[in-house]
Structure 1
Amino acid sequence: MKLFRRVLIGVLIVAVLVLLFALPWWALVFSPMDWPFPMVLAGTIVFAAALVALPVMMYLGHRRHGRDWAARTGDTILGVIWVLFVWTLLGDILRLALAIAGVENPNRARIVAVFVAVVAVTLVIWGYTEAMRLPRAKALDVVIPRLGKGLDGTRVVIVTDTHLGPINRTKWTEKLAAAVNDLDADIAIHAGDIADGTVAQRRGQAAPLGTVRARLSKVYVTGNHEYFGEAQGWLDHMGELGWEPLHNKHVVVERGGDRLVVAGVDDATAEASHLPGHGANLSKALAGTDPDAPVLLVAHQPKQIAAAVSAGVDLQISGHTHGGQIWPFHYLVRLDQPSVHGLSRHGERTQLYTSRGSGFWGPPLRVFAPSEITVLTLRSAAP
């Protein structure tokens, strides 16, 4: 049974890869456009080489202690072919419109090919620029009815999904930390997926996070990608950088005589990692807290909201989704998560804010899903 399952998964992966490459190849190279044979041959070689290179580079680059050059290559191929695939499908709408208008091949096929190529190149260049830029600040007021007046106006600044990885982004992290400091945080939060790789690999890129300032607290929780590397190592290292690792625990912040519980839990995948002592445990995180105090929970994945609702949490902060990162991938994300981006309400008391994230994973592209540094201003319902 296990062998059959592995074979089936392998066949599905191959089928998806072939489909991803075959449709753009047909639209750009082989459909009835009457390209000269050398152009058809060259295009076919390029697509075939990319098809073979993608799984090889992803394996070499993203396995434990993988090679950064391979990850950069595989990630770039994946991003480009996804954009080409999506716009090849959308190009069929133009193909149909041209057919209705009476445009014959090869002109019809050539117009569609040029359209797909131009849009794809434009989106890849723009998407790369969006991925590598300093995230824009996104500000939002969140009313928490149980919040005391002394904490009204508390500024919570959130970064998440920084994914420091194969592309050295030390300068980017320096700018990110400076931007957070400019936002004058009372509470600073890193909601997980700090890096792809071990502390030893990404120490330099993460170092600027040690300069982040917050008046009341700086907290960090693990994301799923920490469990691909060394989750405990990142918890320890963030502690060394001055952040409070909320490894199924909480801190209490106070101002004006009012208190707010800031709790954090491990990522939803932590238990499956079989790392001793790891696994999301909200009961442990809230142990000993005042049941009348409002609770802000940091949990990497939005789908951890079910436990938060059961526990009567007031506000959960999550990341993980990247807002889909490369349109229209957010439709697939929505199949797994209750929220892709923004503020939503769950149950009578609990609200969830899902950040699009500050960095990117894999393909260095963000298309119609801009990165963000989130500034939530907590408001009391009291007049």
Structure 2
Amino acid sequence: MLTKTFKITISHKLYKIIIIIPFIISILVTSYGYINAHNIVKKEYTITSTKIKNDKGYKIGLISDVHFGNTFSIQDLEKYRNQLNDENLDFLVLAGDIIDEFTKVEDYEKVFNMLGSINTKNGVYYIHGNHDESRYTNPKDNRKEKLLNAIKNVNITFLNEESINVTDDIIITGRIDYSYRNLGVRYSSNDLIKNLDKEKYLIVADHQPSIYQENKNAGYDLQLSGHTHAGQIWPFGYVTRAISFDYGYLKEDNFNLIVSSGFGVWGYPIRTEEKSEYVIINIEKE
């Protein structure tokens, strides 16, 4: 039996092109991701409800997943603080992961001072995400205590499995992150809502959107979440979308869910999926 051997010869020039093209693509994608991560856009939604009695309605701000120190400086944050001041908000929700394991402790007060100075008629409300307390490391510098002190010292209300009347029409409930569920500190949605006035518009701030059905079934009207970063870096968006509704606006019956892609990014300062954003929600009388 005769065996023929074929040899493919690649010229030196073609070989260099094959090597260089992926390198150039990597540089272009990384550059785009870096620029995209640093370009914060405004995302706006409008919701109507018969529970809203105020003819003018309400304007709510939503910021999640700043992960301060990874992408932005205090000067950057001040720029967007000034933009939010121009919105004339009724109130602002900070939906978790404002800081994380990599945020310098000495920056805690600077970050929350800046966010707490955003002009609102009815206050700024903060909930824990899964990173705020640096739970994925073993810090030796009392980060949890310093976080709580930073919040107490500014114009921010920390809602930890608590509800508060924000306006005559609106009550907001703040949840501790779902990752705390096995520690006995996160209650059921039914327990949290049972003593609330169901005639009012009930908002729940819950960092992770994955169990929104529980909040819906309990009777909340609107859930505000972040956490997913809308995938942040391709192809991780396929993973977040497979787990739950991961970005944008979802309406099921009378329940509304808004998931922000986040103000910042986690890990690498790169975003190739969606835009970094702050969110404006207009809740109007139906």
The TM tier, using the shorter chain, reads 0.7 to 0.9
Normalization by structure 2: what TM-score? 0.84
Of 262, 269, 276, which aligns to 2:172?
262
Give the conservation status (yes or no) of the 8 Å contact 1:264–1:285. Answer: no
Q: Quick one: which amino acid aligns to residue 152 of structure 2?
A: G
Give the conservation status (yes or no) of the 8 Å contact 1:341–1:356. Answer: yes
**Aligned equivalents of 1:280, 1:112: Cα separation in 2:** 57
**Aligned equivalents of 1:313, 1:109: Cα separation in 2:** 61
Give the conservation status (yes or no) of the 8 Å contact 1:261–1:294. Answer: yes
Larger radius of gyration: 1
Counterpart of 1:188 in structure 2 is 92
Counterpart of 1:178 in structure 2 is 82
Q: Quick one: which amino acid aligns to residue 203 of structure 2?
A: L
**Structure 2 counterparts to residues 243-258 of structure 1, below 5 A:** 243-254=156-167, 258=168
Name the structure with the higher helix share: 1
SS at match of 2:178: coil
Give the conservation status (yes or no) of the 8 Å contact 2:170–2:200. Answer: yes
**Structure 2 counterparts to residues 207-286 of structure 1, below 5 A:** 207-229=113-135, 230-231=143-144, 233-254=146-167, 258-272=168-182, 274=183, 278-286=185-193
**Aligned equivalents of 2:187, 2:163: Cα separation in 1:** 13
Normalization by structure 1: what TM-score? 0.64
Distance 1:246 1:114, change over 3 A: same
Counterpart of 1:371 in structure 2 is 276
**Aligned equivalents of 2:194, 2:144: Cα separation in 1:** 23
Moved more, 226-235 or 320-329: 226-235
Give the conservation status (yes or no) of the 8 Å contact 1:248–1:281. Answer: no
Name the structure with the higher strand share: 2
Distance 1:315 1:366, change over 3 A: same
Give the conservation status (yes or no) of the 8 Å contact 1:265–1:281. Answer: no
Give the conservation status (yes or no) of the 8 Å contact 1:268–1:301. Answer: yes
SS at match of 1:296: strand
Of 251, 257, 262, which aligns to 1:345?
251
Give the conservation status (yes or no) of the 8 Å contact 2:43–2:278. Answer: yes
What is the total number of aligned residue pairs between the two structures?
271
Counterpart of 2:266 in structure 1 is 361
Give the conservation status (yes or no) of the 8 Å contact 2:116–2:124. Answer: no
Give the conservation status (yes or no) of the 8 Å contact 2:205–2:223. Answer: yes
Give the conservation status (yes or no) of the 8 Å contact 1:298–1:317. Answer: yes
Counterpart of 1:304 in structure 2 is 211
Task: After superposition, give the CA deviation of every residue in 1:224-248 in whole Å (9 maximum; x if it has no partner).
Answer: 1124345565344323221111111
Task: After superposition, give the CA deviation of every residue in 1:34-88 in whole Å (9 maximum; x if it has no partner).
Answer: 9xxxxxxxxxxxxxxxxxxxxxxxxxxxxxxxxxxxxxxxxxxxxxxxxxxxxxx
**Aligned equivalents of 2:75, 2:218: Cα separation in 1:** 40
How far does residue 157 in structure 1 lie from its aligned partner after superposition? 0.8
Segments of 5+ residues of structure 2 without an aligned counterpart are: 1-7, 136-142
Segments of 5+ residues of structure 1 without an aligned counterpart are: 1-32, 35-103
Cα RMSD, aligned residues only: 2.7
**Aligned equivalents of 1:228, 1:137: Cα separation in 2:** 28
Q: Quick one: which amino acid aligns to residue 116 of structure 1?
A: P
Counterpart of 2:232 in structure 1 is 325
**Aligned equivalents of 2:74, 2:173: Cα separation in 1:** 29
Give the conservation status (yes or no) of the 8 Å contact 2:233–2:270. Answer: yes
